[in-house]
Structure 1
Amino acid sequence: MILPGETKLLIHLAQRVVVRRWTQQKLKTLALLLVVALGVSVFLSIGLTNRAAINSFSSFTGVVAGESQYYVRSTIGSLDLADARSVRTALIKTEASLFPTLEMMASVEMAESQENYKLIGVDFLASASHLYRTSQANRELQGSRIENMGVFDYLAQGNSLFAPSSVASRHQWQAGDDILFNLGSEQIEFRYSGEIPLIASDANSELPLLVMDLYALARLADRVGQIDRIDITLPSELRTQSYLEKVSNLLEQANPGNWVIESNAERIKTGSAMTLALRSNLRALSALSLLIAFLLVFQALDSSVSQRREEIASLRSLGVTVRQIRLLWLLEAAVIGALGGVAGIALASLTARFFSGMVNETVNALYYFTADDTLDYAYGEIGLAWVTAIAASILAGWFPARAASLTPPAQLLKKNALLGQARRAIFGKIAVLTGVLGAAAYFLPPLPAPNGHGAPIGGYISALAANACAISIGCFAMESLPLCLAPLARRYKSFLIGLSRFRKPVARHRLALGSVTVAVGMTAAMVVLIGSFEKTVTSWLEQVIHADVYVRSKQSQSAEAKNAISKEIAQAITSETQVEDSATISRFSINIYGLDTFINGYDTDYLIRKPHLSWIGSPPDNLESMKTGESAIISESFQERFNVGIGDSIDISTVLGEKTLRIIGIQSDFGNESGSLGVDQIVLEKWTARDDAQGIALHLKSDVDLEAFVSDLETRYPALEISPNRVLKDQATAIFHQTFAITYALEGVGLFISVIGLGAMLFSLTLERRVEISALLRLGMSRASLASVGITEALALSALGIVLGIMLGLVQGWILIYVVNKQAFGWTLSLSIPWNSLLLLGFATLLAGLFVSWRISWWSSGLPAQQEE
């Protein structure tokens, strides 16, 4: 705390000491602020994109129905018109407006690709009624560009479709144009009728969204009588707690047992829980990048203390107290954090858009459809990033501030002393303590998480402790570098001088080593995780993808896609004369014990006839029992989420009542972390009243020309994705690498900052050694030899950091695979160490260190001997 009367003194000292130094070293100060800004921007960008991913879960509904207070959906499959009547009857005496909704995915063929859109069918009559009841009867459908047409005119057309202005302008659609869309298993022509008729004035009108009448969409998509969800909206004046409770109670009383009733807050939590593991891991990676950036702040402030030791001693002699000097350095650290944080917030407007696309692709592939690039610059996220930047800077500046405050006046006589030296033994003790902590945390059980999996708090603590342990080992081993490289030092004087600087290393040596170790360790850990994941998934794909051809809707790339292949088309394809054997699979969302997952309908005879699932443990020998509707198989993630195993029973709610299923087998499935429950397809048809298929597997006769067969199907069924075995495997592998794209980017940021830290260390120490450099030049050492001194110092430190980083990466990779991944996602991976990638990582980092050190060392060797700092 600053005492009364100290503020004026601190401001004066800051102007005379801090600001003067910053103006003298403009480039160095600017570089430091930019590095801090980069770390903050990455941290904030991940926070903003995570927030956008959560918001996009319900943003599509908000465009059409405004903010709904309750949502009703089925525990399995779809609702029907009888459910809609029951909800209406239950709320008949309330002022609630009901919006029955049907959701599909539609795509438009582009020149070289296709664009996917969420197509929402909403009851136009209900929308018009809502406008009337909320005193908006005179409002036209917002955005409509067709004159003199009302709701009934649009209904009469039967295929009227609305789109955001951004979508219409990109495709150059004009009102009245007929547009061909891929919808499920067919291509259907829609008529563009204008911009989306917004009900909510604050809704995002730039979403990849299409809207049409519910019943028209149901007829065109062969889903007559089906409803995906009912949105319930109340007038703003009735959204009191008591009225909301009244509506909730009425809905619960009318619930036949197969409804999921969610408030708006609960629905947002559902979307948040689905992506929890992904968001947590991305936040952890971004925090590591921020940590590396603030190690550089620590290094810069330590350099400042060392370079200004005489000035500090003078201030002490003039009566400035120990406490005031400490506050001065902490003030400088806070200002660095504040300014770097502001710059980082500004930079995040660019980096967030870069990361947003990657996060959207991952969320789209694993969870639900989102292509919304709109970022909500929430004050909470911005404030968190800025406060984190200031707090981290103050923490980074604490030890330099302490060193500055302990500088005695007598140090005026020790012009060549370097500050920041620490006892070697303390690092050995820290290494042992953090090693024990990491080992103990490894065995901690996960905390319960909203998504049904666990929060791997023990894994995170263990990984953090491993970082501290590796850095401590490096700090302990650094003083042994001259001894280990003695044969090389005896042959070259420049090597001898460069290595001699590790006999009494200063804090900046350790900080630079720490940043390299952490960055390489983070990258190496992800290399091990990705390599193990790729090996496991590739092996899994080889086993489960064994048919010759696979057929699915072109919109099925999204995990949320509800587009299916109609029974008629599926039967026509499987009846082709070239087909020897075939099977279809059905897939629906299901809510079990309050958690959303998937239920798959398998052709049981095909599972027995063509064994292809990858089983954990022994394959079940009683698959035939699935036909009775009393047995089921589950995926490994399902087992982890619901804590069930072979022999256990699980209850599900269907339109036919409660069903109890006995688990007879567990399969490996890396499609998503929600898990899946597998039952017989015919049984599932009875429970859902749906006979469409999500996919078709075809085994061709031996004499069939594969390419000709695929080409023929593509011509006759242009709305379907017809993939040969090899192509489907390649697509799966591409999606796998796509989901890790953001990880690669975060690793690159961390490595970049660590190399900058290495250069900053060498730069600051070079300036402090001007007297030593001048003496060596006078003794006849050439400029090249002098430059090699700095290069030796940097490369030795880099090499140590790389070796420790790769070892740290192996440890963290083990933790990620067997603790974090298992507890957060429920997947078991086979460990695979890609040594070639690790060696390439080490070589690339060493090469970057060589380049930076050569540039700085060559520059410093040419400085005039008497040049001022």
Structure 2
Amino acid sequence: MNRLVWLAGWRALFAQPGLTLLAMLGVALGVATTTAVDLANQGVIRAMRLSVEAATGQATHRLTAPPPGIDEKDYAAWRLRPNAPPAAPIVEGTVFSLVPEGERPASAPLSGSTAPAPLSGSTGATSPEKSPPRIPLTLLGIDPLSEGALRPGLRIPTRGDLLATLLTRPGSALLLEETARKLGVSPGGTLRILANGRETDLFIPGLITSPDPLVRQALAATLLTDIATAQELLGMRGWLSRIDARLPENTPPPVALPAGVNLAPANERIEILENLTRSFRANLSALSLLALLVGTFIIHNAMAFSVVRQRRMIGLKRALGVTRGEILRQTLLDGLLIGLPGTLLGLLLGVALGDTLLQLVARTIDDLYYRMRVVELVIEPLSLFKGLILGVGATLIASWLPAREAATTAVIDSLSRSRLEQQRGTRAPRLALFGLLLILAGWGTTLWPTSRLEAGMLAMGLITVGCALLAPWFTIALMARLRPLLTRGAGLHGALACGGVIRGASRTGMAVAALTVATAMVSGMGILIDGFRGTLSNWLEATTVSDLYVSAAGTLSNSDSIPLEPDLIRALSSVPGVASVGLGRRVNLETPGGMIRLHILEIDFKRFSGLQLHQADHATLWPRFQNDQVVLVTESLAFKQNLKVGDRITLPTRRGPHPFTIGAIHRDFRSDAGMITLSRHTWRAHWPDEAMSVLGIHLVNQAEADTVIEALRRAAGPERSLHIQSNLQLRQNSLEIFDRTFAITRALRLLALLTAFFGVLTALSAIGHERMRELAALRAIGLRVGEIRGSVLLQTALLGLAAGLLAVPLGWMQGWMLLHVINQRAFGWTLENHAGWVLLLQPLWLALPTALLAGLPAARRMAATPPIEALREVE
């Protein structure tokens, strides 16, 4: 008996293969989006881990120090101790491979981006015009004789002449074989690079090969040299970036650590880097789940329609003795027959989409957080398993209500379509009430005194689901209000369109819900992007007050600035046409609590007054800032560490940990990890490092800017490569980075809207099947084909109108929460709302065309079906 029941149900389910296929595509798109985002997130985490582990190897601890680093004499003292544990010195930095035009191979790039533009005048540079393409490489200076005990993956080939060449020939370096092939370099050739603002040629005596694919990915875009060569190239003579060591458990270091040198577990750096990007990755995952939510509505729509189509069959089965439990199980299995193939298809699409999203995510992280290289997408079984669980779980959840309805509906009601729709109509107000409670709960969650990002995402999820549950009742109520107006204006067609929406509320309600969520997501993200971009633009205009910004070519926006020599700074400052100069530098500090960036300034009061301070007076704060009495912290750091004005923050200095008093909190978008701004006088007092890296220049006459730029280049000399840009160019470059950062968000919005399109198409196909007899009867009494098509398109437009009207307040709420709750809890920034009426009403002009486009196939099919076929009774 069970076998016959299931066969009958499955036959009825696939009686409309087009509708079933649309439902499968809907869930496939939702699963594909979540899987692709998860694969991309896991890919960047894997790339981070591999790059750190390749440089760390089997080391258990790292010795680090604030700039300029660790004195190499301290390493010698370590090694000369009897029975000293294995240790290896490291000099690390970023250089650029300069590939002449016409010689660059057509292979894929080494990473997601080239050197990005800065977010302020104190950092970064872009390539000068007509310069060769710049490909970032990590320069790793090692001691080949110490590496075997700590980093087997970096072990140099044992050929004696190769090792001798690396150690004895100045300017020698090694590349991974795959990297050399992409750069067009062969053994015995040379590689031209830009290092520390200077161009130089490196001799490549040989290539590194490894059978381990993990080692090859970890060493991609890595340039290996000996310690002395790396120190020469990076301007770090006598200094080391760090010392890696392998210490027995619970054993102190063999020598007393010098002041300012910190000992930390080697894996702590991985945690720091993952923490830097955790909020960014969490936001992507939350957005991808919205697409899956839209897919869930589509499955619900398909299953509800299947139950309605089989109402007579279900009634007959119940009359013949089939139990409610058997009906429930059969309907859930019907849902799995749609959801499981859709999920599997979604996994395949997710893998195909994952590589594109991985490059977008990697480029964003590369721009904002950490230099990283991603060679290829690695398919993680865990990501596929999560996608499978989400797809199957969403299918069962979406199928539960239709299955429960099929199992609990009385036999007499199953045989009457009007009774079924009447029951569904009475259910819409209850769903609306529950949705309203969810909205209130979500809004109340935003008032909960917590800084946890999860609470904010939960609140937005509750509000989104609550508005979706309002959709059926809202659609019925809107049609009831519009019906008299459309009847007077459009006659029979208006009445038929409104009546059709109301009678098909069991499917149109969920279609409207899917379209509402998708268009509201587009609007909400648009409000966030416009608010963020507008706030960033205002901040750039306030802070970039110099006419020209000069830095060493090759500075990355997410790394320490390349220092300029004091003699060069004096020469540039004395160029005719320069009225005044402000100096800046940025330094990254690794602390036990994470990465903290220092922004060092030597500026006048006019430039200082451009800082956007919160509840502080520039004139009062200026002398205290100049005289080492206070430092400034960004609002992101203050939010994440719960800092207030007057608190003290401890930093590792060259003389050991030192507390600094916070004088003010200011807005800054260079780093969501947080930044501390201090005067150069304060820097000199605690870190014996005179280097500065950026000049902000005021001109005597702005009209002579080109003449001054040429004079600055002449003053630098041919051996020094400078990057010079105006404040206008700086703002444009910064906004270009912003637009690249949100490229992945735009892709996710498009996927959600595409998923909603399939939802509307599914609902209209279902309604079209049910109205075939009604429309055939109208055709038989004289209604023309064009009038049938117009009636169906009018009904489709009404669905789009309902979705758009409901999405307007939902999009506004999502935008507000993204600006003032999600964004602040994720990154610590306060943003302004720059959304105009065009953006607020965006869901309307998105929902209407989407619904009409989805309605065209249904309208064409309904109008073209011969009345004699449609009038046949088909179950």
2:315 maps to which of 290, 293, 313? 313
Separation in 1, partners of 2:238, 2:561: 16
What displacement does 1:305 show? 0.8
Map Cα deviations across residues 468-501 of structure 1 (whole Å, 9 max, x no partner).
3323443222222334222222232111101012
Instruction: Report how far residue 283 of structure 1 moved.
Output: 0.5
Q: Which residue of 1 aligns with 2:71?
A: 80
* Counterpart residue number, 1:33: 24
Tell me which of 151, 158, 177 is aligned to 2:170: 158
- Going from structure 1 to structure 2, the CA distance change for 1:201 and 1:308 (only over 3 Å counts) comes to closer
SS at the partner of 2:379?
coil
Report how far residue 538 of structure 1 moved: 0.8
Q: How does 1:129-528 map to 2 (within 5 A)?
A: 129-130=148-149, 141-142=156-157, 149-196=161-208, 202-205=214-217, 207-232=220-245, 243=248, 245-246=249-250, 249-251=251-253, 254-256=256-258, 258-411=260-413, 413-414=415-416, 418-419=420-421, 420-446=424-450, 454-485=451-482, 486-492=484-490, 493-528=492-527
Aligned to 2:142: 123
Answer whether contact 1:104 1:561 (CA < 8 A) is retained: no
What residue is the counterpart of 1:17 in the other structure? Answer: 9
Give the letter aligned to residue 104 of structure 1.
T
Kept after mapping to 1: 8 A contact 2:187/2:205: yes
Cα distance, 1:306 vs. partner?
A: 0.9
Partner-residue secondary structure (3-state), 1:555: coil
Residue deviations 1:584-611 (CA, integer Å, cap 9, x gap): 21211124562211112110x5246663
Displacement of 1:191: 1.7
Q: Cα distance 1:178–1:768, how it changes in 2: closer, same or farther (>3 A)?
A: same
Cα offset, 1:630, TM superposition = 3.7
1:63–1:200: 8 Å Cα contact kept in structure 2? no
Please give the secondary structure, in 1, of the residue aligned with 2:860: helix
The answer to whether the aligner puts 1:114 opposite 2:118 as a matched pair is no
Q: Secondary structure at the match of 1:670?
A: coil
The number of aligned residues is 833
**Deviation string for 1:257-290 (max 9, x for gaps)?**
6344443543322121110110111100000011
Contact residue 364 and residue 558 of structure 1 kept, 8 A: no
Shift of the 346–789 alpha-carbon distance from structure 1 to 2, 3 Å rule, reads same
Q: Secondary structure at the match of 2:668?
A: coil
Distance 1:592 1:415, change over 3 A: closer
Q: What residue is the counterpart of 2:701 in the other structure?
A: 702
The answer as to whether partners of 1:529 and 1:813 remain within 8 angstroms in 2 is yes
Read off the aligned partner of 2:427 and give its amino acid letter: R
Task: Supply the distance in 1 between the matched residues of 2:308 and 2:133 (Cα, whole angstroms).
Answer: 60
Task: State the shift of 1:203 in Å.
Answer: 0.8
Counterpart of 1:225, as a letter, is: G
- The residue aligned with 1:606 is 604
How far the C-alpha of 1:808 sits from its partner, in A, is 0.7
Structure 2 residue 722 is the aligned partner of structure 1 residue 720: yes
Moved more, 273-282 or 821-830: 821-830
Of 843-852 and 551-560, more deviation after overlay is shown by 551-560
Paired with 2:210 and 2:713, the residues of 1 have a C-alpha distance of 37
2:88 to 77, 81, 98: 98
> Cα offset for 1:669?
0.2
1:436 maps to a residue whose letter is L
Conserved? CA contact 1:75–1:260, under 8 Å: no
Unaligned runs of 5+ in 2: 102-129
Distance across 1 between alignment mates of 2:407 and 2:58: 57
Identity of aligned residues (%): 22
* Partner secondary structure for residue 501 of structure 1: helix
1:154-200 per-residue CA deviation (whole Å, 9 max, x = no partner) reads 12122112223333222321222223211122112212233236697
**TM-score, normalization by structure 2:** 0.89
Higher mean C-alpha displacement, 54-63 vs 511-520: 54-63
Quote how far apart the aligned CAs of 1:94 are: 6.2
Matched residue type, 1:681? R
* Structure 1: distance between partners of 2:696 and 2:214: 45
Partner secondary structure for residue 167 of structure 1:
helix
Cα distance change of structure 1 residues 79 and 314 upon mapping to structure 2, 3 Å threshold: farther
Q: Distance in 2 between matches of 1:445 and 1:675?
A: 22
Could you say which residue in structure 2 is the equivalent of 1:3? none
Where does structure 1 lack aligned partners over 5 or more consecutive residues? 1-8, 235-242, 447-453
Instruction: Return the offset for 1:47.
Output: 1.0
Match of 1:238 in 2: none
Give the match for residue 450 of structure 1. none
Determine the C-alpha separation between the residues in 2 that align with 1:443 and 1:848.
Answer: 35
Local SS of the residue matching 1:842: helix
Counterparts in 2 of 1:576-595, with a 5 A limit? 576-592=575-591, 594-595=593-594
- What is the TM-score when the length of structure 1 is the normalising length? 0.90
**1:427–1:36 CA distance, 2 compared to 1 (3 A):** closer
Q: Which residue of 1 aligns with 2:531?
A: 532
Q: RMSD of the TM alignment (CA)?
A: 2.8
Equivalent residue letter for 2:467: A
Contact 1:495–1:788 under 8 Å retained in 2: no
Question: 688-697 or 780-789: which moved more?
Answer: 688-697
Whole-Å separation in 2 of the counterparts to 1:543 and 1:52: 38
User: Aligned residue for 1:555?
Assistant: 554
| Structure 1 residue 410: Cα displacement | 3.3
What is the distance in 2 between the residues matched to 1:502 and 1:581?
70
Conservation of the 8 A alpha-carbon contact between 1:105 and 1:562: no
Q: State the alpha-carbon separation in 1 of the partners of residues 678 and 209 from structure 2.
A: 41
Distance 2:847 2:416 in 1: 37
Aligned counterparts of 1:190 and 1:509: Cα–Cα separation in 2: 67
Q: Which moved more, 1:264-273 or 1:726-735?
A: 264-273
Moved more, 173-182 or 289-298: 173-182
* Cα distance in 2, alignment partners of residues 21 and 528 from structure 1: 45
CA distance in 2, matches of 1:510, 1:316: 28
What amino acid does structure 2 have at the position aligned with 1:106? F
The verdict on how the C-alpha distance between 1:552 and 1:27 changes in structure 2, with shifts beyond 3 A counting, is farther
Where relative contact order (Cα < 8 A, 6+ residues apart) is larger, the structure is: 2
Equivalent in the alignment of 1:684? 683
Letter of the aligned partner of 1:157 in structure 2?
R
Q: Is the 8 A contact 1:498 1:793 kept in 2?
A: yes
The structure-2 alpha-carbon separation of the partners of 1:261 and 1:349, relative to structure 1 and needing over 3 Å to count, comes to farther
Cα gap change, 1:61 to 1:647, in 2 (>3 Å) = closer
Task: Provide the secondary structure at the position in 1 that maps to 2:325.
Answer: helix
